[in-house]
């Protein structure tokens, strides 16, 4: 009998938790959100993988930030998670480095098996992320499609040339 009551309590608790969780779902927060999409190129080629983030810069209205993954040079944020109209700073990042070996395979010195690169270097110049110079304005009339064509800095381009010669 006691085990039966414990099971009913857990079932009741799980039911309440599910109802509370579902109550928070949905996009009806009263804000006029707009879908955002576009492409990201780096040195003229689609950025294989990365992250794009939008941070509000205006002082009026609600402050809504959003982000999306970049895959194959494309990103999209649906209306439900979209941005409200206004100006935004854009930050684009992509990390790289040698991947660590899968569990059971040999690993590089200091690497833990099955994990991504340790302290992976940022592949995109700081002027596109940490010190971003990119800005957009989301407009209610849309379409809010923003394409970014990023270029290496001269210093990074020189490093790449030196490495090719080695």
Residue-wise pLDDT tens digits, 29-76: 788 999 999 999 999 999 999 999 999 997 777 878 999 999 999 999
Q: Give domain status of residue 124, yes or no.
A: yes
Query: Helices (DSSP H) in the chain: which residue ranges?
Result: 2-23, 154-165
Structural domain boundaries enclosing 142: 31-100+113-153
Task: DSSP letter for 128, please.
Answer: G
Measured CA to CA, the distance from residue 116 to residue 149 in angstroms comes to: 27
* CATH code of the domain covering residue 118: 2.60.40
102-141 pLDDT, tens digit each: 555 555 555 555 555 556 789 999 999 999 999 999 999 9
Q: Give domain status of residue 25, yes or no.
A: no
Q: Give domain status of residue 117, yes or no.
A: yes
What number of H helices and E strands is found in the chain? 2, 8
CA 68 to chain centre: 4
- Name residue, tokens 């857990």: 10
């Amino acid at each position: 009998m006691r085990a039966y009551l414990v099971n009913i309590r857990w079932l009741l608790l799980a039911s309440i938790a599910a109802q509370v969780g579902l109550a928070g779902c949905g996009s009806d927060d009263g804000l006029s959100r707009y879908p955002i999409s576009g492409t990201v190129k780096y040195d003229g080629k689609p950025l294989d993988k990365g992250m794009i983030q939008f941070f509000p810069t205006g002082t009026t209205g609600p402050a809504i930030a959003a982000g999306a993954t970049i895959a194959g040079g494309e990103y999209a944020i649906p209306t439900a998670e979209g941005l409200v109209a206004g100006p935004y700073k854009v930050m684009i990042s992509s990390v790289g480095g040698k991947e660590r070996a899968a569990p059971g395979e040999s690993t590089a010195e200091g690497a833990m098996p099955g994990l991504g690169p340790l302290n992976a270097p940022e592949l995109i110049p700081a002027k596109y992320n940490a010190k971003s110079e990119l800005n957009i304005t989301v407009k209610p009339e849309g379409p809010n499609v923003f394409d970014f064509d990023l270029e290496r800095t001269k210093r990074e381009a020189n490093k790449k040339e030196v490495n090719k010669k080695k």
